Structure 1
Amino acid sequence: MKALTETTILFIIVLLCTSVFIAAVPEIQIKPEGAEHNVGDIFKVKIVVTIIHKKCPLPITSTVIELSKNLMLVNETEWIQVSSNVYEKTIWVKCVSEGEGTIRVYRKCPIYGLIEAQVKIGVGVKVEETAEAKIYWHIPNTVYILLTLTAVSVFLAFTLAKRRDRRSNMIRLGVLAFSLALLGFVKGGCPCPIGAVQIIPVLLLDMKIYIGWILLLLIPIIATLIFGRIYCGWICPFGALQELIGLINKRKIKPPSSLNYIKLLSLAVFIGLSISIGDEVFREYDPFKALFNLSFTETTLALLIIVVLASILIGRPFCKYICPLGAILMLVDKVSILRIRRDSKLCINCSLCRRICPYNTDSGTGKGECILCLKCITKCPRQALSYR
C-alpha cells in the first residue's frame, strides 16, 4: 500500500509539473518588437492576439491599435483566425516625421482590465529604452467576492468553533460548494490567486503593477496571517472541487504528512518558469479552469481525470503536493495570529485529531497545514482544542 501511495503521488506530480515546461504565449505580440526607420519609410508590422479564455466576452474586433503622431497607418488587413484562439493582423505604417514613435495595441478586458503591448519605433533617431513602472488600477469584481467570502467564512469558523458544533464540517462544505459554483463555474476560475502567484513576479520584472492581481494574492495571505488558512479550507474553488469529489471515498490513503512539503518545490518551479518564460505557466494546461469553462483539450482532460482519481484515493492532491499558493500559505500559517491551539493539560494524546485530519497532521502543532476544517475541535473527547 505504501509503494502504491508513493507511486501515485509521484505520477501526479510528474504529469502536472512537466506540462508547465511548454512555453506560455503572451496575449498580445507585436512583430517586430522595435525598429529604426527614416522619414518616408513604409514598414510592415504583424500583430498576434491570443485569446486566453475560450469564453472571452471581448470580440477580436475590440482590439485597439494606436499610433503616435509621427506614424501613419497606410494599410491593414482584417483579423485572420489562424487557430482556435489565435488571430493575426498585418498593418503597414509610414514614418511621417522624425522622433521616437510608438505602436500600441490593447484590449480592455472586463475581467483582467487593460491588456496591452507596445513597441518603440525610431524615425531618424535611435530608440532609447527607459524603465518606467506602469500601474494598472483595474480591480476585478472577483476581489470583492473574495473579500465577502473571507469575512463570512471567518465569522462562521469562529462561531462554529466556539460552539463545537458538530455540523461545522457540513456547513464548511456548503460554503465550499457555493464558492465552487460562484468563483469556479460562474467566474470561470479566473482571475485567481493561484495565477497571481505566477504572474505577479513576471509583471513586476516588466515594470507593470496590476493592483487587481496583487489584491487577489494579498487577501488570502493577510487572511492566513490573521486567521489561519481560511482561504484553503473554506473558499478556494480548486480545493472545493477536490474535497467534494473526495466525499465518494471515506477511507482514503493517508501519505506521510512530510510529503506535503513537496509543494515548496512546486512553488519554486512555478515562479522560476514564469520568470524565465515571461508569462503565467500552466494556464493552458490547467484542468480546473478547463472544467470551469467546459472547454477541454486532450491534455486538460487527462489531467482532470488524474486529479479526480487522486482526489478519491488521497484527498486534495493538488492542494497537498502541487499548489504554489498553498505553499505560501503554509509558510504564513506558521506565524498566524489565530490558530487551533491545544491545551496540554486536557490533551490525553489519543491522536484522534491526527487520524481525522485531512492533512494527516497533529492539531495545534503549528505546522502550517491546518485548513480549519474544525473536525478536530468538534470531535476531541476532552475539548482540548480551541480556535483562538
Structure 2
Amino acid sequence: MTTDFGRTTLPYCSFVGVGEKRPRVGVGVGTDVLDLTAAAARFVPDRAGLFADGTLDRFLAAGADAWHEVRDALTAWVDDPSARAFLVPAAEVDLVLPFTVADYVDFYASEQHATNVGRLFRPDGEALPSAWKHLPMGYHGRAGTVVVSGTPVTRPSGQSRAASGHIDVGPSARLDLEAEIGFVVGVPSTLGRPVDVDRFEQHVFGICVVNDWSARDLQAFEYVPLGPFLAKSFATSVSPWIVPLAALSGARVEPPARDPHPPTYLQDEDPWGLDLELVVRINDTIVSRPPFASMYWTPAQMLAHLTANGASVRTGDLYASGTVSGPADDQVGSLLELSRNGAEPVKLDDGSCRTFLLDGDEVTISATAAAPGGGHIALGEVTGNVIARQP
C-alpha cells in the first residue's frame, strides 16, 4: 500500500531507484518521493552535504537548527514547479533502512498492556510490577536485528517449557506481534550526564512505526530473572519513513494522570503525550486499533530515564514505546492480549482463526496522528511476512 503523506508531513526515507545500488535520501510528498540527495543543492545548498551519503545519519547528527532549516526550506519549495523534476512515484522505488541503528531499547510504557499481561501471567498476584508506576521500565535489545519494513521474519527457535514440564527445543509455536512507536535519536549526549526531560526535542529527531516481534513461549521460559533475550532479539521491524517531531504539533496532548507523582527527573512541565492511532492488520484483516494517547509514560520521560544513570545516547539510537494498548478489547497491540494467551482465537476475514502467528502470515501496522485544525496525517506503516525456519 502506498501512503499518501499530503504536502505538510514531509517524512524522510532512504530509497533505491530501479537498477540502482546506492541509496539516496528522500522526502515523502503526496504519493511521491522527492530526491533530497539531488534536490538539496537547489533549495538548501548549505546543507546539501548532509544527504550525500544516501542515509539520514549526518542529518540526524546535525541537530535541531539543521532539522528546522531543512524542513522550513522544504515547506516553502515543495510546491514550486521546479521541484517536480526531483519527484518519483513511491511505487517505483525500494525503501531501505534510512539510518544506521546504533543502539535499541524497548520500553513497557502502556499501563493497559502491562496490566493485561500481568493478569494473564500472574492471576493471583499484582498485575503491575512494583516499580512500574515509579519509572519507565524497559530492556536493551539488539540493534543488528532491526530491519526495514518488508523484510521477511524467520520464525525464531529456542527453548520453551511444554505443559508436561518437558523442555522443548525448536521453532516458537507462539510467535506474536507488538504494535509500537519508535523514537529516533539525532544529537548524542555526553556519557555521565543525564538528559533532562525538557531536552527531548534537542535530541530526538522523529518517530517511526515499530513491530517488535515476540516469541511468547521462549519468553515465558527465559525471562526470569533477567528479562527478554532470544524471545525478542531475532527481529524488530521498523517503517521506512521517519516523521519529524516538527510534523506532530497537532498531536500533542496531555498524558494520563500519574499516581504516584513521579520523581523530579521525570516531571514534565511540557508534556509529550501524542494523539496517535495505530491499526494492526493480519492478512488484511483489521484486528485492533491501539491508541497511543493512553500511554502512561511519554517519550520524553523514556529518554530521561534511559539516561538517568549517566548512560549516553548516540546518533541513530532507537528506542520504542513498548506495546501500545488501550482500554477496549479491540485496542490492544498484541495477539497475546487479543487471544487471551491463546484461550480465545481471533477470527480473520477469510474464516480462519489465530491465537498466534502462522508461517505465511503478513502483519501490517500503520499509524496516523492528529493534525492541526482537525483531521489526521499518515505516519507510514511497517509490514513483515512470517516465514518458516529452514532446517
| Bigger strand share | 2
- Where is the helix percentage greater, Structure 1 or Structure 2? 1
Bigger Cα Rg: 1
TM-score class normalised by the smaller sequence: under 0.3
Q: Which has the higher contact order (CA 8 A, sep 6+)?
A: 2
- TM-score normalised to structure 1 length: 0.24
